[in-house]
Amino acid sequence: MTHRTKVAIIGAGPSGLLLSLLLHRQGIDTLVLERRSREYVEARIRAGLLEQGTVELLTAAGVGARMGREGLVHTGFSIAFDNRLHRIDLESLAGKRVTVYGQSEIQRDLGNAHDAAGTRVIYDAEDVALAGLGDRPSITFSRRGERQEILCDFVAGCDGFHGVCRGSIPERLVTTYERVYPFGWLGVLADVPPLGEELIYVNHSRGFALCSMRSRTRSRYYLQCPLEDSVEAWPDSRFWDELAMRLPESALRHMVTGPSIEKSIAPLRSFVVEPMQYGRLFLVGDAAHIVPPTGAKGLNLAASDVRFLCHALVEYYRSGSAQDLEQYSARALSRIWRATRFSWWFTTITHRFDDDRFAYRLKLSELDYLAQSTAASTVLAENYAGLP
Of 113-122, 197-206, 306-315, 352-361, the least confident:
352-361
Question: What fold, for 183-268+355-385?
Answer: D-Amino Acid Oxidase; Chain A, domain 2 (3.30.9)
| 329 class by beta-carbon count within 10 Å (0-12 exposed, 13-18 middle, 19+ buried) | buried
In the 8-state DSSP scheme, what is residue 290? E
247 compared with 48, residue with greater pLDDT: 247
User: Using one digit for the tens of pLDDT, what is the confidence trace for 125-168?
Assistant: 999 999 999 999 999 999 999 999 999 999 999 999 999 999 99
SS3 content of the chain, % helix, strand, coil (to 5): 40, 30, 30
Q: How confident is the model at residue 355 (pLDDT cuts 50, 70, 90)?
A: confident
Whether 2-72+100-177+269-345 shares its CATH topology with 183-268+355-385 is answered no
Q: How confident is the model at residue 318 (pLDDT cuts 50, 70, 90)?
A: very high
Burial string for 3-23 (b: 16+ CB within 10 Å, else e) reads bebbbbbbbbbbbbbbbbbbb
How many of the other CB atoms lie within 10 Å of CB of 236?
Answer: 14
Per-residue pLDDT at 354: 84
C-alpha span between 219 and 179 (Å, rounded): 29
Average pLDDT, stretch 58-66? 97
* pTM of the model as a whole: 0.96
Per-residue pLDDT at 45: 75
Q: Which of 245, 148, 249, 155 is nearest to 204 (CA)?
A: 245
Tell me: pLDDT of 47 over 80.
no
Question: Options 3.50.50.60, 3.20.20.140, 3.30.70.3270, 3.40.50.460; which CATH number does 2-72+100-177+269-345 get?
Answer: 3.50.50.60
Tell me: pLDDT of 360 over 90.
yes
Torsion-angle region of 67 (φ positive above 0: left; ψ -120 to 50: alpha; else: beta): alpha
ω into 193 cis (within 30 of 0): no
CA dihedral of residues 53, 57, 59, 62 (deg, nearest 10) = -170
Tell me: pLDDT of 278 over 90.
yes
Average pLDDT, stretch 282-306? 97
The percent of residues in the chain predicted with pLDDT above 90, rounded, is 96
Q: How confident is the model at residue 10 (pLDDT cuts 50, 70, 90)?
A: very high
Per-residue pLDDT at 44: 84
Interhelix angle 103-117/14-25, rounded to 10 degrees, is: 40
Tell me: pLDDT of 197 over 90.
yes
Average pLDDT, stretch 273-279? 98
Average pLDDT, stretch 260-269? 96
Average pLDDT, stretch 164-179? 97
126-131: strand order across its sheet: 2-4, 146-151, 138-143, 126-131
Report domain extents, the chain: 2-72+100-177+269-345, 183-268+355-385
User: HSE of 263 in the Cβ direction (CA atoms, 13 Å)?
Assistant: 18
C-alpha span between 384 and 49 (Å, rounded): 10
Tell me: pLDDT of 111 over 90.
yes
Tell me: pLDDT of 122 over 80.
yes
Contact between 318 and 302 (Cβ < 8 Å)? no
Could you give the residue numbers annotated as active site?
74, 201, 293, 297, 384
Per-residue pLDDT at 46: 78
Q: What is the DSSP string of 187-251?
A: EEEESS--SSSS-EEE--TT--EEEEESSSS-EEEEEEE-TT--GGG--HHHHHHHHHHHS-HHH
User: Using one digit for the tens of pLDDT, what is the confidence trace for 206-220?
Assistant: 999 999 999 999 999
Contacts 24+ apart (CB under 8 A), 68-76: 70/101, 70/105, 70/215, 71/99, 71/100, 71/101, 72/99, 72/100, 72/101, 72/213, 72/215, 72/216, 73/97, 73/98, 73/99, 73/100, 74/98, 74/99, 74/100, 74/197, 74/198, 74/199, 75/198, 76/198
- Mean confidence (pLDDT) of the chain: 96
In the 8-state DSSP scheme, what is residue 56? H
Per-residue pLDDT at 304: 98
| 115 class by beta-carbon count within 10 Å (0-12 exposed, 13-18 middle, 19+ buried) | exposed
Q: Which element (helix H / strand E) includes 342?
A: helix 328-350
